[in-house]
Amino acid sequence: MMADRVILACTVIAAAVYLYATTLIPSLEIGDPLGPKAFPRLLGIGLLIAAGLLGLEMWKDRHEREPSAPAQARDLRFVWVLAAVTLWTGLYYALLQKLGYIVDSSLYLFALMSWFNRGKWIANAATAVLYSAFSYILFVKLDVNLPRGVEAVSWISDALIAVTNAVLGALKGLFGMIG
Amino acid sequence: METLTHIMNGFAVCLQPINLWYTFLGVFLGTIIGVLPGIGPSAGIALLIPVTYGMNPTSALIMMAGIYYGTKYGGSTTAILINTPGEAASVMTAIDGYQMAKKGRAGAALAISAVGSFIAGTLGVIGLTIFAIPLTSMALKFGPAEYFMLMFFAMTAVSTLAGRSPAKAMISTILGLMIATIGIDLQSGQPRYTMGIPELQDGVGFVIAVVGLFAIAEVFSTMEEITKGTRPEIIRLKGKLWFTREEWRRSIGPIWRGSIIGFIIGVLPGAGGTIASIMTYIWEKRLSKHPEEFGHGAIEGVAGPESANNSDTAGAMVPLLTLGIPGGGATAVMLGAFIMYGIQPGPLLFQNRPDLVWGLVDSMYVGNIMLLILNLPLIGLFVRLLYIPGGILMPLIMAISTIGIYAINGNPVELYIGLLFGVLGFIFRKVDIPVAPMVLSLVLGGMMEQSFRQAMTISGAHPKIFVGSTICVVLLALSILSVALPFLMPRLKAWREGSGGDAK
C-alpha cells in the first residue's frame, strides 16, 4: 500500500510537471488547428485520470480486503548493490571513449563478475577479457564503430584487428589453395 | 489467384540461401534467448536491431521474426528443467512440465513441447496466410480517425490485460505516450520537452528504451535473485527424449485446442502468449477426465499451453502486418524495426512489397521446421546454457546492451538514457507496473498523435470524426468494453455465484 501511495504521488507530480511544461511550448498554429500542445494536454489530463483510478483501486482494496499481515522486514541490502551496479555502469560509460571498448569492458565485466560470481578469479578474468576482445572484433567487422580509446590504449584495438585480418587473410589463402 | 502467386513467390524469397541462413540464425538465437531466463524476445530483437543496419530489410526482418517465435520454443526448456519460465509465456508449462521432470519424464515433456510447438506454429502461420488478405482489404478503408481509434483500442486492451491493476497499466501507457512526445514536433517544428538537451531533439530512441526497460531491468532483477540466493536448481536431463504412445494420445487434443485458442488470442491486441497459455491450461483442466493430475505432471498441461503460446506468435503477426498495429511488447519492437528500415507495415505493404511480406510469412513455415530439428536432437546443447552461472551471464548481458545502444548513434549520452530506463524498468517490476504498455505506446505514440491531428484537421477540429464511421464506433465500443470488463467481471461473477446460491 505504501508503494501505491508513492506511485500515486509521483503520477500526480509527473502530470503537473508535464502540463506545466506543455504551457511553455511556443505554438504557431498554421494549417494545424490543434498545434503542438493539444495532444500533450490530453495526455496530462489522461494521467491525472489514471492517478484517480489508482486512488479508487487503493480505496477499494482497503475496504474489500482483509487487513493483511504486517509487511515483512524488507531486505534492503540489494538496494545498495543496485545503486553500486548503476554507478559502476555509469562510470563504465563515462570512461568508454577514453579507455576504449576493450579495456573498459574488461575492467567493468571483471569487477561485476568478481562480485556476483565470487571466488572464480581465473574464469571471471578469462571471460571478461575474451568476451571484450571477441565482441570488439565481431562488431567492428559488422561495421559498428566501437571506441578505440586514447593513444595509450588504442594500440590494443589496432593490434587485435591487425591480427584478425592477418588470420582471415591466411585462412582465405589456405582455402584458395585447397579450392 | 494473384495472392497465390505472391505466396509462392514468397517461398522463392525465403528459400534463397541468404534468407535460409538468416532464418536459421534467427531461430537459433531465438532458442538461446528463450532458454536464458535473463532475456526475452523484446530485448533480444531490440539488441539486434543496430547490428542489422547494413542488412537487406527482408533478411533482417526474417531473422527478427525467427527470434520472436524461436524464443517460445526455448522458453519451455527452462520452464521444464528449472521451474522458471525462460520466457514469460512459458509460465504455465512450468507447472506440470517441472513435475514431469521431477518424475524423470523431462525428455517426454521437452519432446511434446517441441512437437506441439511445431504443429501449433505451423497451424498459426497457415491462419496468418489465410486471414492476412481479408484484413488488408478492410484496412484499406481506414482513414486517420479509424487508425487513431484502432491504436486507442490496442492501448486500452493492453492496459486492462497487461497486469493486475488496470490503473497502473494505464499510467504506464500514458507515460509511454508522454515520452513519445519528447523531441521536435514534426508538424510545427517546435521542440517539446527537450530540456535543452540536443540528443533529445530527435526524441527518445525506442531501441534505447526497450533495451533499458527489458534487458537492463531484467539483469537488475536477476542480480537481486543472485544476491538473495533464490536462483533455482536445474533438473538433469535423463533418459530418452521422446514420449510414449499413451502420452501422444493424451496430448493431441490439447495441441489442437491450444493452437486455435492461441491464434485467436494472438490476433486480439493486449492479451498475448501468457494469457493464451493460462486460458488453454484452465480449459484443458476443465475438459480432462483426470483434473486432479494437473499440477502433478499432467502432459496435457504441457502440450496445451506450449501450443497456445506458439500459435499466438503467428496470430500476433496478423494485426502487425495487415494493420501496422502491434498488440503487445514484442510485436511493438518488431514494428519499431520495420520503421527503422523505412517500411510501414499495413495494407499498402501487401500491395507494394509482396516479396517482403510473403517472404517473411513463408519463412515462418521454414523456421518452424528448423526449430523442430534444433529442439529435438540438439536440446542437450541448449540445456548446457542453463549451467552458465548467472553471475557471469548478467554482466555479459549488460555489456551486450551497451553495444546495442552505442551502435545506434555512437553517442554516450544515449547510454545513460538507456541506464535510466533500466532503473525505471526495475522499479516498475518491483511496484507491479507492467512495462509492455509503455513500450507499445512509445512505438505508437508518434503515429497516434499524427493520426489524431490529421483527423482533427479533416474535421475542422471537431471530435465527432472519431464516431463518424461504423469502424470508429465499433472500435470505440470495444475500447470502452475492454476498460469496463475488469470492473464488470468480478461483479458479474459475484452475481452469478449469488444467483447460483439462491437456486440451491
pLDDT tens readout for residues B244-255: 999 999 999 999
Question: How many contacts (CB atoms, under 8 Å) link A and B?
Answer: 174
Q: pLDDT per residue over A81-103, tens digit each?
A: 999 999 999 999 999 999 999 99
Name the residue in chain B with its Cα closest to that of A14: B175
Q: Does B487 have pLDDT greater than 80?
A: no
* Mean of pLDDT over chain A: 88
CA distance B9 to B358: 7
What's the whole-number mean pLDDT along residues A25-41?
79
C-alpha cell at B360: 517473411
Name the residue in chain B with its Cα closest to that of A126: B392
User: Residue A66: which pLDDT band, with cuts at 50, 70 and 90?
Assistant: low
pLDDT at site B503: 41
CB B18 within 8 A of CB B26: no
User: Which residues lie across from B502 on neighbouring strands?
Assistant: none
Radius of gyration of chain A (CA): 27
Name the minimum distance, in Å, from the CA of A34 to any CA of chain B: 7
> Which residues of chain A lie closer than 8 angstroms to B394, CB-CB?
112, 116
pLDDT at site A31: 61
CA distance B225 to A84: 16
What is the sign, positive or negative, of the torsion defined by CA atoms of B363, B368, B370, B371? Answer: positive
- Tell me the HSE value of B196 on the side-chain side, using a 13 A CA sphere: 0
For residue A74, count CB atoms less than 10 angstroms from its CB and return exposed for 0-12, middle for 13-18, buried for 19 or more: exposed
C-alpha cell at B158: 493492453
CA distance A164 to B420: 36
Nearest to B347 by CA among B366, B320, B380: B320
CA distance A164 to B109: 44
Q: Does B501 have pLDDT greater than 50?
A: no
Which sequence spans correspond to the domains of chain A?
A: 2-64, 77-178
pLDDT at site B409: 87
Which residues numbered 64-83 in A keep a CB inside 8 Å of some CB on B? 75, 77-78, 81-82
Q: pLDDT per residue over B50-81, tens digit each?
A: 778 778 999 999 999 999 999 999 999 999 99
CA distance B36 to B38: 6
Name the residue in chain B with its Cα closest to that of A11: B171
Name the minimum distance, in Å, from the CA of B412 to any CA of chain A: 7
Measured over all CA atoms, what is the biggest interatomic distance in chain B, rounded to whole angstroms?
A: 71
The percentage of residues in chain B with a pLDDT greater than 70, rounded to a whole number, is 97
CB B277 within 8 A of CB B113: no
CA distance B100 to B245: 16
pLDDT at site B52: 83
CA distance B110 to B116: 10
Range with top average pLDDT, A130-139, B83-92, B196-205: A130-139
Helices (H), B197-236: 206-210, 217-228
C-alpha cell at A158: 589496432
pLDDT at site B261: 95
What's the whole-number mean pLDDT along residues A8-21?
96
In a domain, B177, yes or no: yes
Concatenate the DSSP letters of all residues of A88-110 into one string: HHHHHHHHHHHHHHHHHHHHHHH
**Is A78 close to B227, i.e. CB distance below 8 A?**
yes
**Is B193 close to A127, i.e. CB distance below 8 A?**
no
C-alpha cell at B352: 507494394
CA angle B181, B185, B190 (to 5 degrees): 120
User: Which residues lie across from B183 on neighbouring strands?
Assistant: B192
Q: pLDDT per residue over B370-415, tens digit each?
A: 999 998 888 888 888 888 888 999 999 999 999 989 988 888 999 9
The shortest CB-CB distance from A54 to any of B171, B392, B430 is to B171
Nearest to A8 by CA among A51, A43, A56: A51
CA distance B267 to B132: 11
CA distance A165 to A171: 10
Does the CB of A50 have a partner CB in chain B at under 8 Å? yes
CA distance A7 to A1: 10
Amino acid residing at A8: L
CB B82 within 8 A of CB B234: yes
Q: Compute φ and ψ for A25, nearest 5 degrees.
A: -75, 125
Which residues numbered 161-220 in B keep a CB inside 8 Å of some CB on A? 165-168, 170-171, 174-175, 177-178, 181, 185, 187-188, 190-193, 220
Residue B89 is part of which domain span?
Answer: 2-497
Does the CB of A121 have a partner CB in chain B at under 8 Å? no
Name the residue in chain B with its Cα closest to that of A54: B167
pLDDT at site A29: 59
Residues 6 or more apart whose CB falls under 8 angstroms from that of B321 comprise B128, B132, B345, B349, B350, B357, B360, B361
Q: Which residue has the cell 488453454?
A: B280
For testing contact with chain A, the best of B172, B402, B429, B466 (most A CBs within 10 A): B402
Nearest to B166 by CA among A9, A16, A58: A58
The percentage of residues in chain B with a pLDDT greater than 90, rounded to a whole number, is 60
Nearest to B38 by CA among B422, B414, B302: B422
**Is A51 close to B171, i.e. CB distance below 8 A?**
yes
For residue B164, what is the DSSP state? Answer: S
Q: How many CB atoms lie within 10 A of CB B253?
A: 15
pLDDT at site B361: 96
In a domain, B503, yes or no: no
The structure's pTM equals 0.89
**Is A96 close to B175, i.e. CB distance below 8 A?**
no
Q: Which residue has the cell 498459426?
A: B124
CA distance B338 to A110: 37
Q: pLDDT per residue over B268-326, tens digit each?
A: 887 678 889 999 999 999 999 889 999 999 999 999 999 999 999 999 999 999 999 99
Nearest to B438 by CA among B276, B184, B209: B209
Structural domains in chain B (count)? 1
Characterize B413-427 residue by residue with b for buried, 16 or more Cβ atoms within 10 angstroms of its Cβ, and e for exposed: ebbbbbbbbbbbbbb
Does the CB of B226 have a partner CB in chain A at under 8 Å? yes
Name the minimum distance, in Å, from the CA of A166 to any CA of chain B: 24
In a domain, B504, yes or no: no
CB B314 within 8 A of CB B121: yes
Q: Does B497 have pLDDT greater than 50?
A: yes
Q: Name the 3-class secondary structure at B184.
A: strand
What's the whole-number mean pLDDT along residues A58-85?
74
CA distance B218 to B88: 12
CA distance A170 to A167: 5
**Is B460 close to A33, i.e. CB distance below 8 A?**
yes
User: Which residues lie across from B191 on neighbouring strands?
Assistant: B184
> Which residues of chain A lie closer than 8 angstroms to B430, CB-CB?
3
Q: Compute φ and ψ for B163, nearest 5 degrees.
A: -145, -170
Q: What is the ipTM of this complex?
A: 0.91
Q: Does B342 have pLDDT greater than 50?
A: yes
* Mean of pLDDT over chain B: 90
Name the minimum distance, in Å, from the CA of B393 to any CA of chain A: 9
Q: Does A134 have pLDDT greater than 90?
A: yes
pLDDT at site B504: 35
